[in-house]
Structure formats: structure tokens, C-alpha cells
Amino acid sequence: MEIKRPASADCSNENNTITMSHPSIETETPYLPSEILFNIINHLSEDKPTLCSLSLVSRSINTTITPLLWSTLRLSPF
């Protein structure tokens, strides 16, 4: 990622250039052993916002985490 900023103090969007390179679609996702993944998920089991964010990492992680996110349903009056 390359970020170029002007020499002046002006930081408006017109003067900033942000260039991001994207990895090739053919790049393989690194393998994470399931034991390590389960330990991470177990450690975060009470932190629902973090689990929700983690579920967006990959389909396999999402498949594992989604049941945990929906395991408890809390209803409250309006």
C-alpha cells in the first residue's frame, strides 16, 4: 500500500492519493489447524462483537462461529 500526502498541511481528499494493491485471487489462504481455531473461538466465546467480526474472515470460520452467535436469544420489551 502506498500513501502519498502533499507537503502542505492541506489534507482534503483532492490532494491525497491512496493506492492499494490487491493480492491475486489465485493466492491461497493460509491453513490454520482446527485445534488452534477452536481455541481462539473458545477464548472469545463471550465476546459476541469480536466473534461477529471474526466470522467475516472466511466461509469456513463463519460456518463454525455462526451457531455460537445464535445460541442465545435475548428478548427485551420495547
Q: What is the pLDDT of residues 56-77, one digit of tens each?
A: 988 888 998 999 888 888 889 9
Residues 50, 9: Cα–Cα separation, whole Å: 36
Report yes or no: 15 and 38 within 8 Å, Cβ to Cβ.
no
Low-confidence ranges of the chain (pLDDT < 70): 1-29
| pLDDT at residue 24, as a whole number | 56
Q: What is the pLDDT of residue 19?
A: 52
Quote the pLDDT of residue 23: 56
Secondary structure (3-state) at 3: strand
pTM value > 0.85: no
